Amino acid sequence: MIGRSRRGRVERTGAQPRRGPPATSWLFDAATEEPDLIEADKRARRARAERRRAQAPSRPMMDPRIAARRALVEADSAPVDRGRRRWTVFAVVVVLLVCGAALAALSPFASVQDVEVAGAERTGPEAVVAASGLDSQPPMIRVDLDQVRSRVEDLPWVLRATVERRWPQTVVLTVEERQPAVVGPCQASAVTGCLLDRSGRVLGPADPRATVTLPRLAGVPEAGVPGSMLPEAGRGPLTVAVNLPSALRQLVLGVKGGGGEVSLELRAPGRDLTPPVVRLGAPDRIQEKLTAAATVLARTSVDPVAVLDVRVPESPALTRVRR
C-alpha cells in the first residue's frame, strides 16, 4: 500500500508502488480535493444556520401596514427626542449659570464698600450715608435705589436726591439742597428762630447772620422740629415773604400776620420800636400789592413813612410820621 506524506514523498508499506510519476499524481489530487473541502464547509455552515433558525422561538407575523406605520413613527420621534434632549441640557446650563450668578452677587465681595456723596454742603456726607442705610454694607444687588432716595430726601435740607449704582462696589448719592427763604419761630430755636424754605419746610436753627439778609416771620404759629412744615396759619405771611421783589426785599425787616391780614415792617434807622409799616390786607393779589408798595417807596424815603396802605393796589395811601 502506498501512503503519501505531507512533503509529497511515497512511503513503502509492504506493497508494490503504482507505476507513474509521483509528482503528477500528487498535483492532480490536490486540485480535485481542495474544492470538495470548500464545498463541504459551506454545506456545514448552511446546516448550522438552519438548525439555529429551527431552534429560535417563532415570531408572529406582523401586518405590513403596521410595520410601515411603526417605522414611520420611529423616524418621526427621533428628531423630537434629540431636540428634547438638547433643550433639557440648555435649561440645566441656564439654571446653573443663574444660581452661580446669584451666589456671586450675594457674596461679601459684591457688597457696598464705598459710598460717594455730592452736594451735601449743609447736611454733611456722614448724615447722608447714615440716612441712606448703606453704612451697613448690603449686597449691591439688594440695594433698593428708590428706598435709598426716599430716605435721603427725608433729611431736612435735602430737596431731591439721585442714587446711582456703580459696579462692583460703589454707590453714588447726589443731593440737591433746599435754599432758605425766611426766618420763622420754631421749637428748635426759640431765640434765633429757624430757617424755612419756600414751601415752609423747617431746615434748622438760623444763624444770627441769616436774620440780617432774610425776612423774618412774625405773628405766625411756631413751627416744629427740622423736617416739619410751617402750620397752615402761617402760609399767608410765608407766601408774601417768598414773593418779595428784589427792590423791596432789602427794605423789609419782617412779615407779620394776624387777624387774616399781612403787613410788612420796614427797616428805618432809629425806628426799631416804631418801624414803617406796609399794610397788604388779605394775602390775595400779592404781586399787585407788592408792586404798588415798591413803586411808592421808590419815589419817597422810608424815614417819613408811618403807614403805606396798599390793600387796594390801584389806590395806595401813604401816611407820614408827624414831627
pLDDT in tens, 261-274: 999 999 888 887 88
Q: pLDDT grade, residue 40 (50/70/90)?
A: confident
Residue predicted with more confidence, 22 or 186? 186
Query: Has residue 31 got a pLDDT over 60?
Result: no
Report d(CA 44, CA 42) in Å as an integer.
5
| Rounded CA Rg of the chain | 55
CA separation (Å) from 36 to 3, 25, 30, 131, 266? 21, 17, 10, 107, 144
- Mind listing the pLDDT tens digit for each residue in 6-18? 444 444 444 444 5
Given a contact cutoff of 8 angstroms between Cβ atoms, the answer to whether 279 and 309 are in contact is yes
CATH tag for 182-320 (out of 3.40.50, 3.30.70, 1.10.20, 1.10.760): 3.40.50
Interstrand relation of 114-118 and 182-184 (parallel, antiparallel or unpaired): unpaired
Q: Percentage of the chain surpassing pLDDT 70? A: 79
Given a contact cutoff of 8 angstroms between Cβ atoms, the answer to whether 305 and 266 are in contact is yes
Q: In what order do the strands lie in the sheet with 182-184?
A: 202-205, 194-196, 182-184, 216-218, 252-258, 261-266, 277-281, 305-309, 317-320
Q: What is the DSSP string of 34-102?
A: HHHHHHHHHHHHHHHHHHHHHHSPP-----HHHHHHHHHHHHHHHHHHHHHHHHHHHHHHHHHHHHHHH
Q: 281: number of CA atoms within 13 Å, CB side? A: 16
Given a contact cutoff of 8 angstroms between Cβ atoms, the answer to whether 308 and 318 are in contact is yes
- Residue 19 φ then ψ, to 5°: -75, 145
Interstrand relation of 170-177 and 114-118 (parallel, antiparallel or unpaired): parallel
Which residues have a Cβ under 8 Å from the Cβ of 171 and sit 6 or more positions away? 112, 114, 115, 116, 132, 134, 140, 143, 148, 163, 164, 165
Would you give the DSSP letter of residue 15?
S
Of 188, 177, 76, 61, the closest CA to residue 117 belongs to 177
Query: Has residue 306 got a pLDDT over 70?
Result: yes
Which three cell numbers, joined as nine digits, stand for 103? 451666589
- Residue 133 φ then ψ, to 5°: 80, 5
Report d(CA 36, CA 144) in Å as an integer.
96
Least confident piece of the model among 33-47, 103-117, 267-281 = 103-117
Of 284, 178, 203, 206, the closest CA to residue 240 belongs to 284
pLDDT at 116: 96
Query: Has residue 181 got a pLDDT over 80?
Result: yes
Query: Has residue 28 got a pLDDT over 50?
Result: no
Q: For domain 110-177, give the CATH number.
A: 3.10.20.310
- Mind listing the pLDDT tens digit for each residue in 204-231? 999 887 677 899 999 999 999 999 999 9
Identity of the residue numbered 171: V
